[in-house]
C-alpha cells in the first residue's frame, strides 16, 4: 500500500532505503530519542532491520512504512528516487 499527498509518500520499506536509514539512525540526535537505536549505529544494521521488517510483515506481525518527500521532477530529477525519513 502506498499513500501520497502533494509533498509526501508513505510506502513500504525497501532494501534501497538502507543507506539513508543508516545515515539517519547514525545521527546521535536521532538515536538519543529512542530506546532501540544503538549509537553508533552498526554498518549493515539497516539492511538487516529492513529484512526483519519484511519477514515480520509476511507473518502478519507488524506493518512499517517509510515516509518520503516527493521529488520535484522538474528539477532535472527523472528517476523517481526518494529518500526515506526514519521516524
Instruction: Render pLDDT for 27-48 as a digit per residue (tens, 0 to 9).
Output: 998 888 888 889 999 999 999 9
Largest CA distance in the chain: 40
Residues 82 and 69: beta-carbon distance below 8 Å:
yes
Strands (E), 1-87: 3-4, 8-12, 65-69, 84-85
The domain limits of the chain are 3-71
* Residue the block writes with cell 502533494: 6
Q: What residues in the chain have per-residue pLDDT under 70? A: 72-87
Q: Which pLDDT value is given to residue 22? A: 93
d(CA 26, CA 38): 8
* Residue the block writes with cell 549493515: 44
Amino acid at each position: 500500500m502506498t499513500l501520497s499527498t502533494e509533498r509526501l509518500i508513505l510506502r513500504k520499506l525497501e532494501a534501497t532505503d538502507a543507506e539513508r536509514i543508516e545515515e539517519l539512525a547514525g545521527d546521535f540526535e536521532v538515536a538519543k530519542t529512542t530506546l532501540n537505536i544503538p549509537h553508533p549505529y552498526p554498518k549493515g544494521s539497516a539492511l538487516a532491520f529492513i529484512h526483519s521488517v519484511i519477514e515480520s510483515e509476511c507473518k502478519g506481525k507488524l506493518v512499517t512504512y517509510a515516509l518520503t518527500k516527493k521529488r520535484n521532477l522538474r528539477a532535472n530529477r527523472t528517476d523517481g528516487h526518494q529518500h526515506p525519513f526514519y521516524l
